[in-house]
């Protein structure tokens, strides 16, 4: 069991509309302000989906680079870009996200029903993402939506080698309609199939957010929270902002006697080189 907790913030996602969720950070300025606030509260990694000027999800490389640069100028967070995008995004655009040279990127390990949609991640795309990240010095976070995805991870590592940095970090995405449920039993079922030496985080979607956090902490895991994954803080109570979710995660981590890792500690854990330190007010 690790002595600290890696907290990843997923502030925006590609599903919710700004018109429906006014607190959702979509502009460059909103994303930067959110990143600064949440680093001060204990977040160490920023999992980014980018929105365009029209507030809709975009993989436009110019816009992606603009957001990455702005976050790096304002914070010392590990910048992790989503290569999942929206479920309708083509594979070539998802691969091109890596041209923005993030510190890290997500790598989804299999196709899964996503509500009424299908999130397509065939084997050849998985291998191409893994190989390009190895070549470019980008650290993957392997996203697992179902137990079988961990078998895919084992096959990927066996055939194509360890990721850049040598450390395997997995995010168990739980509670997606069509994926594994957000329960303690489902999380426990995944743990024996993690690669030796791997670390894991867990993401509870929607109402599973809190039980998944508690289960992950009890099993020595790390946490991903944010308005990408949940818009309700408690029954009948909408999330105020991403800082509210990070503050709760950090508080639970401290109760578990595994306080949030700093950005420096997060980089050391994940095998990501240290950048210059940005002063962030507490």
Summarised one tens digit per residue, pLDDT across range 111-168 is 999 989 999 999 999 999 999 999 999 999 999 999 999 999 999 999 999 999 999 9
pLDDT of 97 over the 80 cut = yes
> DSSP assignment of 215-230, as one string?
HHHHTT-EEEESTTT-
pLDDT band at 2 (very low <50, low <70, confident <90, very high): low
Q: What is the pLDDT of residue 3?
A: 87
Task: Quote the tokens at residue 57.
Answer: 């999800």
pLDDT band at 26 (very low <50, low <70, confident <90, very high): very high
Write the CB contacts of 82 (distance below 8 Å, at least 6 apart in sequence): 14, 47, 48, 49, 97, 105, 106
Contact indicator for 227, 246 with CB cutoff of 8 Å:
no
Q: Among 24-28, 83-87, 96-100, where is mean pLDDT lowest?
A: 83-87
pLDDT of 30 over the 70 cut = yes
Q: What is the pLDDT of residues 185-242, one digit of tens each?
A: 999 999 999 999 999 999 999 999 999 999 999 999 999 999 999 999 999 999 999 9
Question: How far, in Å, CA of 243 to CA of 88, rounded?
Answer: 29
pLDDT band at 274 (very low <50, low <70, confident <90, very high): confident
How far, in Å, are 7, 89, 165, 201 from residue 223 at the CA level? Answer: 5, 27, 21, 5
Q: What is the pLDDT of residue 73?
A: 97
Q: What is the pLDDT of residue 276?
A: 52
Q: What is the pLDDT of residues 51-80, one digit of tens each?
A: 999 999 999 999 999 999 999 999 999 999
Task: Quote the tokens at residue 189.
Answer: 């079922």
pLDDT of 5 over the 70 cut = yes
pLDDT of 281 over the 80 cut = no
Q: What is the pLDDT of residue 278?
A: 46
Contact indicator for 164, 188 with CB cutoff of 8 Å:
no
What is the pTM (predicted TM-score) of this model? 0.95
Question: How far, in Å, CA of 197 to CA of 194, rounded?
Answer: 8
């Amino acid at each position: 069991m690790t002595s600290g907790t890696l907290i990843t913030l997923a502030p925006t996602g590609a599903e919710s509309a700004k018109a429906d969720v006014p607190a959702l950070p979509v502009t460059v300025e909103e994303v930067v302000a959110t990143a600064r606030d949440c680093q001060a509260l204990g977040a160490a990694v920023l999992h980014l989906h980018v929105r365009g000027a029209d507030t809709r999800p975009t993989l436009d490389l110019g816009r992606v680079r603009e957001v990455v640069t702005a976050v790096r100028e304002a914070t010392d967070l590990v910048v992790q870009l989503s290569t999942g995008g929206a479920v309708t995004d083509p594979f070539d655009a998802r691969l091109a996200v890596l041209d923005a040279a993030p510190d890290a990127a997500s790598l989804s390990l299999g196709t899964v029903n996503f509500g009424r949609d299908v999130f397509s991640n065939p084997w050849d795309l998985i291998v191409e993402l893994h190989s390009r990240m190895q070549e470019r010095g980008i650290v993957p976070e392997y996203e697992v939506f179902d137990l079988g995805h961990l078998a895919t991870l084992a096959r990927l590592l066996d055939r194509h080698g360890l990721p850049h940095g040598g450390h395997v970090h997995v995010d168990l995405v739980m509670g997606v309609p069509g994926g594994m449920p957000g329960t303690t039993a489902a999380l426990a079922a995944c743990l024996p199939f993690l690669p030796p030496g791997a670390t894991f985080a867990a993401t509870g979607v929607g109402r599973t957010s809190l039980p998944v956090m508690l289960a992950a902490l009890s099993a020595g895991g790390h946490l991903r929270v944010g308005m990408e994954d949940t818009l309700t803080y408690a029954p009948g109570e909408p999330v105020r902002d991403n800082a509210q979710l990070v503050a709760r995660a950090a508080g639970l981590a401290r109760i578990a006697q595994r306080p949030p890792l700093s950005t420096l500690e997060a980089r050391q854990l994940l095998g990501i080189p240290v950048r210059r330190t940005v002063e962030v007010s507490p």
